[in-house]
Amino acid sequence: MSKKYKIAILPGDGIGPEVMRQAYKIINVLKKKFFLNIQYKNYLVGYSAIKKYKTVMPKETLYGCEKSNAILFGSVGDPRYNFFNKNISLEKESLLFIRKKFNLFCNIRPAKLYSKLNYLSPLKNSISINGIDILCIRELIGGIYFGNSKFIYDKNKIKKKAFDTEIYSKKEIYRISRIAFKIANKRKKKLTSIDKSNVLKSSILWREVVNEVSKEFPNVKLNHLYVDNAVMQIIKNPSIFDVILCSNIFGDIISDECAAIIGSIGLLPSASINEKKFGLYEPSGGSAPDIKNLNIANPIAQILSLSMMLKYTMKLDNISKKIDNTVKEVLELGYITKDLSNDVNKEYVSTDEMGDIIAQTLIKNI
């Protein structure tokens, strides 16, 4: 019998459950046709967990994640949550809690525009024609997301001030930089580190540490960009970028920009891993409650996140590549979901149909 893998599946809120249903189709192909010994169990998280457990992060869910080799995550967030507690963000209590709890410091988001699909990009053809293949590596459990923060109230208990703290230790910067250099070394040997060291002390330290680590990787060409300049260059000339290294907040913003220029956030998967390669795999986009249950959400980011799980946690690179190539093939055949087209006359497939087409094409490609 082949190695057994246990996956905790947390579909979450909004479009999470419907895109996750498409990932199940792929998991079933992996079990039946690739003979992978995958066991999965569903757990509630986010707004969807409140009804049963009165919390967005139930103990049962946490326990389920602890017993598993990896977590396949949908998305969390629901506008109705504000009625429950105005000051604690649902995302912080669930998704960010899991990231921190499992020490998932390294977030990897690949944004790739396939050559025949450059029409999907909102960029001018003269720019997109040069191709986009950017791997965004984001520090995920430090910085302003987890630094000291507070509301300060006046004597009438009305909010008067608020602050958040961008804080990084050298150790945190070392550990994410090393991974970024290692990955860059296996690709085009080109790494761009993003900071705002003309203003922020935390960025000065960031740049110093990245420079130090670069000495261990003489083959990798390193350059630094201020974040404001970086967002411009990524739009104007994305083909010059290969691996981008960012702090938590800059990576959050830049990875969305990378998603936009390849056509849709619905295409961008994400892997968040720790030293032991335990990982949480999730689409980079949010729960998109406005299009929930309409069967129009794009399931590709969820399916590619599953593929990243095969690559990073299970070390099944070949099967992961098969899934990625299948997605590419399906898109190149012209099947697209609504988010990928602003042409009203263009025919698009539903969430469910896209899941079926990818699953069937994967079977054909075995």
Min. distance of Cβ 252 from Mn ion in angstroms?
A: 4
Note whether 45 and 76 are within 8 A (CB): yes
Minimal CA–CA distance to 10: which of 57, 80, 79, 67? Answer: 57
Q: By rule CB under 6 A, what string of x and - marks binding of each residue 235-274 to ligand IPM?
A: -----------------x----------------------
Site for ligand IPM contains 94 (CB under 6 A): no
Residues 6+ apart with CB under 8 A from 334: none
Q: How many CB atoms lie within 10 A of CB 235?
A: 14
Where does this chain touch ligand IPM (CB under 6 A) — which range of 26-34, 88-96, 196-204, 235-243?
Answer: 88-96
Of the candidates 95, 209, 227, 230, which one interacts with ligand IPM according to CB under 6 A?
95
**Measuring CA to CA, which residue among 307, 350, 346, 352 is closest to residue 327?**
307
145 catalytically annotated? yes
Among positions 13, 18, 91, 252, the unique one binding Mn ion when judged by CB under 5 A? 252
| Residue 281: active-site member | no
Binding segment for Mn ion among 10-18, 177-185, 202-210, 249-257 (CB under 5 A)?
249-257
- In the complex with ligand IPM, the residue whose CB is nearer, 91 or 166, is 91
Query: Taking contact as CB under 6 A, which single stretch among the options 24-32, 89-97, 209-217, 357-365 is the one that binds ligand IPM?
Result: 89-97
Residues 281-310 within binding reach of ligand IPM (CB under 6 A): 284, 286
226 is catalytic: no
Q: How far is the CB of 81 from ligand IPM (least distance, A)?
A: 12
Nearest by Cα to 39 from 59, 17, 24? 24
Q: Does 196 participate in catalysis according to the annotation?
A: yes
**Per-residue x/- track, 199-238, ligand IPM (CB under 6 A):** ----------------------------------------
Q: Please choose, out of 8-16, 207-215, 251-259, 356-364, the segment that lies near Mn ion by the rule CB under 5 A.
A: 251-259
Catalytic, out of 40, 174, 226, 256? 256
Establish if 78 lies at the interface with ligand IPM (CB under 6 A): no
Q: Residue 52 forms beta bridges with which residues? A: none
User: Residue 93 interacts with ligand IPM (CB under 6 A)?
Assistant: no
For the annotated catalytic residues, the residue numbers are 145, 196, 228, 252, 256
Where along the sequence are the contacts to ligand IPM (CB under 6 A)?
Answer: 91, 95-96, 252, 284, 286
